[in-house]
Amino acid sequence: MSLKGLWSVCILSLLGAINAQAAVVKDNSFLIEEAYNQEPGVVQFIQTYQYLDPVHEWGYSFTNEIPVPDETHQFSYVIPVAKKNSGTDDQTQVGDVLLNYRYQLMNTEMISIAPRFSLIVPTGDYKKGFGNGVVGFQFNQAISIALNEKWTNHWNAGFTYTPDAKNSLGETASLFGFNFGTSVIYNVTPKTNLICEFVMNNNENVAAQDTKGSSSTYYVVPGIRSAFAVGEETEVVPGIAAMLGAGPSAEQHERGVFLYLSIESKLW
């Protein structure tokens, strides 16, 4: 064996030894929602960033997940920021904020189920395309299946309803969209995950007064993430993934990069 090969084996063995006694990270996805609520006293702060070609637009989100007061009930909020490319006048603004409640319906060693109900607050400027100008509602059903110690499978399905949404001209229509996704997770170590996700979103838009248009996006998202302990009760999780357009999104040559950073700490 060459010196380079021997060094690689030593590094991998060291990583394996470090993670051998560590608990498996269950919160292990990017765009797919896992069916696991936060443990009592453990608060999570999540930042994501995605950049898409060929539109040259990006989106950022900040999410805070809080148990109230234990794993059965969880409150969270999502603050999105987006940069839209109109060709002549690029705009970067805050979008509509989500206020989320998630209920831990089932949590066994093999299967976990957690429905989420969300209120969409019209904080974005609908006149510039950063929101819908009215309150909306969202539902998502997450199911997580622990196949064994190495493999996990997550499933998502849900919908979004926005009554009397507005476009930039103030024209209104009630919008309905739906989402579906699944992911396969492989635990390289208890703290490092290889990820492959598939996500589909269908969204309607206000084309004219009481007239709607619709569009769909399909992405395959392969990536990797790893957790690092910072002190005794804080964990930092960076991650990176590619966003590869599939189906109609592939025909439009859509692709991008996804960055993830989570900080999880026991605060009480």
pLDDT tens readout for residues 11-52: 444 344 444 445 777 888 999 999 999 999 999 999 999 999
The CA distances from residue 100 to 33, 116, 172, in Å, are 13, 7, 25
Question: Rounded CA gap, 31 and 199, in Å?
Answer: 7
Each domain of the chain, given as residue ranges in start order, spans 3-266
Per-residue pLDDT 10s for the chain (268 aa) are 554 454 444 444 434 444 444 577 788 899 999 999 999 999 999 999 999 998 889 999 999 999 999 999 999 999 999 998 866 678 899 999 999 999 999 999 999 999 999 999 999 999 999 999 999 999 999 999 999 999 999 999 999 999 999 999 999 999 999 999 999 999 999 999 999 999 999 999 999 999 999 999 999 999 999 999 998 899 999 999 999 999 888 878 889 999 999 999 999 9
**127-147: per-residue pLDDT in tens?**
999 999 999 999 999 999 999
User: Which of 135, 101, 99, 136 has its CA nearest to residue 117?
Assistant: 101
Tell me the pTM.
0.88
Q: In CATH, which superfamily holds the domain spanning 3-266?
A: monomeric porin ompg (2.40.160.40)
Exposure b/e, 158-180, CB count within 10 A at least 16 = b: bebbbeebbbeeeebbebebbbe
